[in-house]
């Protein structure tokens, strides 16, 4: 897809950008003219993506960011402001889904691990990245929630709770920051072809049946592609979505309709 400069000149931090949906978002924002901070705990894959974007003419850097670390957030935001001179867009995409447990066996440490990455991570992103966007005079934040914020799944206690939390946290930020020129929206993907979903399917007792069942849950009749999520994020991050804040954008092949 060619570039129309839809986010030309903007500086964007994308968390979880080393893989899957986050990588597609980093690429898509870069194609449309943003300078991109690829932020992830996976140094090797993150550096590789930043290098690939650079070869394609995108100004991109990798920053090691554990979204659960306050110190990491402070450093990454500081480095971004120093290196790129501002911050306009934040996409909170880092998340984990594998390792869910049924409630009767759920250990507390696992609950806290999933909540820490999926929900605390977004809070810290808002607290530090969002604050920098406010200080910069305005911009846009997109938080990646999930259809799991709407529909429950067995063994999804922590995941569903974390993603519902992301949706409501998004709305509070949208309300508080609307007068400050910062729009905050959430995107809710259905199942998307990423390493995360591949691992979920691989771990099922019958992987083929699991894959077929996952597809059957989507009226469109297939799983989504990372780029299809990235296109929605690009829209919300761009000035085209100038009147949209606090919105929940489902990109789920109809998953939550039935």
Residue ranges in contact with ligand NAD by CB under 6 A: 15-16, 18-22, 40-42, 65-68, 93-97, 117, 144, 146, 189, 191-192, 194-197
Nearer to ligand NAD, 139 or 156 (CB): 156
Q: Which residues are catalytic?
A: 159
Closest CA to 17 of 65, 54, 58, 87: 65
Q: Cβ of residue 207: shortest distance to ligand NAD, in angstroms?
A: 16
Q: Contact at 8 Å (CB) between 94 and 67?
A: yes
Q: Cβ of residue 239: shortest distance to ligand NAD, in angstroms?
A: 24
Q: Contact at 8 Å (CB) between 17 and 226?
A: no
Q: Cβ of residue 166: shortest distance to ligand NAD, in angstroms?
A: 8
Beta strands (DSSP E) in 153-238 are 182-189
Nearer to ligand NAD, 117 or 133 (CB): 117
The torsion region of residue 5 among left (phi > 0), alpha (psi -120 to 50) and beta comes to: left
Q: Cβ of residue 177: shortest distance to ligand NAD, in angstroms?
A: 21
CA 217 to chain centre: 22
Say how many residues make up the chain: 258
Nearer to ligand NAD, 186 or 245 (CB): 186
Element (H, E) at 41: none
The DSSP call for residue 103 is G
Nearer to ligand NAD, 44 or 240 (CB): 44
What's the CA gap between 197 and 209, in Å, rounded?
14
Q: Alpha-carbon dihedral of residues 129, 135, 140, 142, nearest 10 degrees?
A: 20
Nearer to ligand NAD, 146 or 170 (CB): 146
Q: Cβ of residue 161: shortest distance to ligand NAD, in angstroms?
A: 13
Structure tokens at 79: 């480095």
């Amino acid at each position: 897809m060619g570039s129309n400069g839809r986010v030309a000149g903007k500086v964007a931090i994308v968390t979880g950008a080393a893989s899957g949906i986050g990588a597609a978002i980093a690429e898509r924002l870069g194609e449309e003219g943003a300078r991109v901070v690829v932020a992830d705990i996976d140094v090797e894959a993150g550096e590789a993506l930043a290098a690939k974007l650079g070869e394609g003419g995108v100004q991109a850097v990798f920053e090691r960011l554990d979204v659960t670390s306050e110190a990491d957030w402070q450093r990454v935001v500081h480095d971004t402001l120093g290196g790129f001179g501002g911050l306009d867009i934040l996409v909170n995409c880092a998340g984990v889904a594998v390792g869910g447990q049924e409630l009767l066996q759920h250990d507390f440490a696992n609950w806290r691990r999933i909540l820490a990455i999926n929900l605390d991570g977004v809070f810290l992103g808002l607290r530090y990245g969002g604050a920098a966007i406010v200080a910069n005079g305005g911009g846009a934040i997109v938080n990646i929630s999930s259809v799991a914020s709407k529909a429950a799944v067995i063994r999804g206690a922590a995941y569903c709770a974390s993603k519902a939390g992301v949706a409501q946290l998004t709305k509070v930020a949208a309300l508080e920051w609307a007068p400050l020129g910062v729009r905050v929206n959430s995107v809710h993907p259905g199942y998307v072809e990423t390493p995360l979903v591949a691992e979920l399917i691989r771990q099922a007792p019958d992987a083929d049946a699991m894959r077929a069942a996952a597809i059957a849950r989507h009226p469109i009749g297939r799983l989504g592609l990372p780029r299809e999520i990235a296109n929605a994020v690009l829209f919300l991050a761009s000035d085209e979505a100038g009147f949209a804040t606090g919105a929940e954008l489902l990109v789920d092949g109809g998953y939550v309709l039935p």
